Structure 1
Amino acid sequence: MYIVTGGAGFIGSAMVWKLNQMGIDDILVVDNLAESDKWKNLVNLRYEDYIHKNQFYKLILEGEDPFETEAVIHMGACSSTTELDADYLMENNYRYTQMLCRFCLNHKARFITASSAATYGDGKLGFSDDHKGAEKLKPMNMYGYSKQLFDLWALRAGIMDSLVSLKFFNVFGPNEYHKGDMKSVICKAFKQIGETGEMKLFRSHREDYKDGGQKRDFVYIKDCVDVMGWFLENPDKGGIYNIGTGQAREWNDLARSVFAAMGKEPDISYIDMPESIRDKYQYFTQAEMKKLHDAGYNKPFMTLEDATKDYVQNYLAQDDPYLKSR
């Protein structure tokens, strides 16, 4: 059985889709659907069973493996960078990841977990996924810190090479529709442009960046799950790895790509960044990708323009905008 935690969420459901493309249907989806619309992400996918995360925790705590687990792809976590409940993040993002990791090691199952580019903080120390620099990183929010803590724990325990911890940069793509304010700017922009004809971006509050000139490493969800699929097929590879394109692009570039995909002329305006996030805002992120390439992964990542076109035209503009199993 392949277990995908957060399997109805954005990256999790996309990974179920990827497993289906790989011919794998023996999948246990772990999540907390509650009253959200996440269930819609599962409708077009093939999987064996679903279990609520609390029930799954209880089974794991018993120490046995009733699932005959081949791999756990752990995408289940609170991904809100503005979450202020530190105790909740400690338990949900850090302690629970530890528990799942031990479970996989004890039962010789593959363990792939989601870290985050938020661990790099303001970027002054660079964006290298070399293990030697992990201790020096200083995340700027509690979410990033909760991810950093697991990486440090695994490194200090000497087990990091036996698992995979993936530092996702700015991921976008289908199946993120349920995420509210945490949806990608592309997803929000499609609706905004459709309703008003224009797109709003944050002004820069630093002299070295023009308005909309802040840069991020935008990476398409299909590329992310391709990497995870590769790690499943190469169980000898382990460690911390960045997942990005390796090329920082301006928010202005992203905006223009959405307008182009919608067949419209760009109309971009700028608004002040909320004071609550100004001191924690990342003006530049760019994944160093040499480590992943050196490990043997050589599939090119989609350009921002090509990925945006696929997302807008084949998903956002469709009546059924979800990933579909073949």
Structure 2
Amino acid sequence: MIVVTGALGFIGSCLIRKLNDENFNAIVAVDDFSKTEKLKNLEGKNLKEKVERTHFFEWLADNQKEVEFIFHLGARTDTTEFDVNIFNELNLEYSKKVWQACIEYSIPLVYASSAATYGLGEIGYDDDETKIKHLKPLNPYGQSKQDFDLWALAQAQKPFFWAGLKFFNVYGPNEYHKGRMASVIFHAFKQIQDTGTVTLFRSHNPDYIDGQQKRDFIYVKDVTEVCLFLMKHRKNSGIYNLGTGKARTFLDLAKNTFKSMGKEPQIKFIDTPADIRDKYQYFTEANMRKLKSIGYLKPFTTLEEGIKDYVQNYLMQDYKHF
């Protein structure tokens, strides 16, 4: 059995689809199944069992001999949430229990970290573990991921294989439920449908003109490819960046969304909301040398290819699921 926590979520549900496509069908989906608006993310997927998040550790104690791998992707991911207690409970303490269970039962582990740990990128976006203690996240979400990374690295006992993945800006199908936290591509598509225009944030940084803010956008299908690679690889434990290694502008993103919809670009700019303005990342770009050095050599989907697939095969198909 393969366990996926956060199974109802964006990346978790896409990973289950990928596992099914690779003929892994004994999947145990762990999540809060009272969140009915996300249940459609598991429609059409082959699962062995669904386990409530609060009952997972009891279930694991009873079934650990059958568990081959754990992907711990469940987390509170809202960067606008400032209640530290929520993040401590769901992102830090729960993750510690997963880690400790993987040691006790000799189960390999891949868990979700985040590029939000890099803050404003003052010391770059390098996944060298000696630099992690110097990172300065901008919000409690990023801090919770940073806190767990540091805790994991400090442990004398570790799972026999483990990897923490610092996800950069992931986009793709199954993110419809994320609201404000959904990708800019998702929001751009909806804006074009509703108004014919896309609204981007104006730059408040003199080093960047409007629309030239850059992020490392990675298609969720590439994320699932890397997860499968690590499940099969099972050596070279550590923390890894997961982006494409190539930053692209928001203007590129908007223009490609219009192009994929067969429309001429109509783009306007508004002020960045005051509540996030001083915590806004103007540039992110993953240093991907470390993952490549352990043998992951597949090319990443370009922004043009990823947007075209997402828009034409999912969003324009009435939010079809992956």
The answer to whether the superposition gives a TM-score over 0.5 is yes
- The residue that corresponds to 1:30 in the other structure is 30
DSSP 3-state at the match of 1:128: coil
Distance 1:174-1:67 versus aligned 2 partners, 3 A rule: farther
Name the CA distance, whole Å, in 1 between partners of 2:181 and 2:102: 30
CA-CA distance at 1:110 after TM superposition: 1.2
DSSP 3-state at the match of 2:28: strand
Distance 1:114-1:35 versus aligned 2 partners, 3 A rule: closer
Matched, 1:146 2:144: yes
- The residue that corresponds to 1:95 in the other structure is 93
Name the CA distance, whole Å, in 2 between partners of 1:189 and 1:67: 46
CA-CA distance at 1:37 after TM superposition: 1.6
DSSP 3-state at the match of 1:210: coil
Structure 1 runs not aligned, ≥5 long: none
CA-to-partner distance for each residue in 1:74-99, whole Å, 9 max, x for gaps? 11000111111101101110111011
Name the CA distance, whole Å, in 2 between partners of 1:206 and 1:36: 41
Amino acid aligned to 1:102:
Q
Identify the match of residue 86 of structure 1 among 84, 87, 93: 84
CA-to-partner distance for each residue in 1:27-77, whole Å, 9 max, x for gaps? 1101113244211010021111111111214445xx554562111101100
- The residue that corresponds to 1:18 in the other structure is 18
- Alignment check: 8 A CA contact 1:160 1:240 kept: no
Identify the match of residue 125 of structure 2 among 102, 124, 127: 127
- TM-score, length of structure 2 as denominator length: 0.97
- The residue that corresponds to 2:272 in the other structure is 273
- TM-score, length of structure 1 as denominator length: 0.96
Q: What does 1:177-256 correspond to in 2, within 5 Å?
A: 177-256=176-255
DSSP 3-state at the match of 2:285: coil
- The residue that corresponds to 1:8 in the other structure is 8
- The residue that corresponds to 1:317 in the other structure is 316
DSSP 3-state at the match of 1:13: helix
Distance 1:175-1:301 versus aligned 2 partners, 3 A rule: same
Name the CA distance, whole Å, in 1 between partners of 2:218 and 2:35: 29
- Alignment check: 8 A CA contact 1:154 1:160 kept: no
Name the CA distance, whole Å, in 2 between partners of 1:187 and 1:36: 21
- Count of residue correspondences: 321
Name the CA distance, whole Å, in 2 between partners of 1:16 and 1:162: 21
Name the CA distance, whole Å, in 2 between partners of 1:233 and 1:148: 26
DSSP 3-state at the match of 1:285: coil
Name the CA distance, whole Å, in 2 between partners of 1:141 and 1:64: 37
DSSP 3-state at the match of 2:88: helix
DSSP 3-state at the match of 1:37: helix
Name the CA distance, whole Å, in 1 between partners of 2:165 and 2:43: 27
Matched, 1:118 2:141: no
DSSP 3-state at the match of 2:226: helix
Distance 1:252-1:177 versus aligned 2 partners, 3 A rule: same
CA-CA distance at 1:268 after TM superposition: 0.4
Name the CA distance, whole Å, in 2 between partners of 1:137 and 1:82: 19
- Alignment check: 8 A CA contact 1:116 1:169 kept: yes
Amino acid aligned to 1:147:
K
